Structure 1
Amino acid sequence: MTAASQKGISMLGALVLLLVLSFAASTAFRLVPHYLDFHALQRVITRAPEAVQGAPASPAEFYAHVTRGMQVNGIRDLDARSILAVRRQDNQFHVHLKYERRAALIGNLDVVVHFDRQYRVRAP
Structure 2
Amino acid sequence: MRMKSQRGLSLAGVLVVGALAAFALTIGFRTVPVINEYLAVKRIVNVLADEGDKGTPALELRRSFDRRGQIDGVSSVSGVDLLIDKSGPRTLIEVDYSRAVPLVANLSLLIDLHASSEAR
TM-score range, shorter chain: 0.7 to 0.9
SS in 2 for 1:89: coil
Distance in 1, matches of 2:119 and 2:31, equals: 28
The within-5 A match list for 1:76-95 is 76-82=75-81, 84-89=82-87, 91-95=89-93
Distance in 1, matches of 2:92 and 2:63, equals: 16
CA-to-aligned-CA distance 1:26-57 (integer Å, 9 cap, x gap):
1111212111111111111112337xxxx561
Aligned to 2:20: 20
SS in 1 for 2:75: coil
The alpha-carbon distance between structure 1 residues 61 and 103, as it changes in their structure 2 partners (threshold 3 A), is same
Number of equivalenced pairs: 116
SS in 1 for 2:20: helix
CA contact (8 A) 1:58 1:88 kept: no
Tell me by how many angstroms 1:121 deviates: 9.2
Find out whether 1:70 has 2:55 as its counterpart.
Answer: no
Aligned to 1:100: 98
CA-to-aligned-CA distance 1:77-103 (integer Å, 9 cap, x gap):
432313x11132255322121000101
SS in 1 for 2:117: strand
Distance in 2, matches of 1:9 and 1:121, equals: 48
TM-score when normalising by structure 1: 0.77
The within-5 A match list for 1:52-63 is 57-63=56-62
TM-score when normalising by structure 2: 0.80
- Unpaired runs of at least 5, structure 1: none
Runs of 4+ in 1 over 4 A off after TM superposition: none
Distance in 1, matches of 2:63 and 2:89, equals: 19
Distance in 1, matches of 2:33 and 2:119, equals: 25
The alpha-carbon distance between structure 1 residues 106 and 91, as it changes in their structure 2 partners (threshold 3 A), is same
Q: Which protein is richer in strand relative to its size?
A: 1
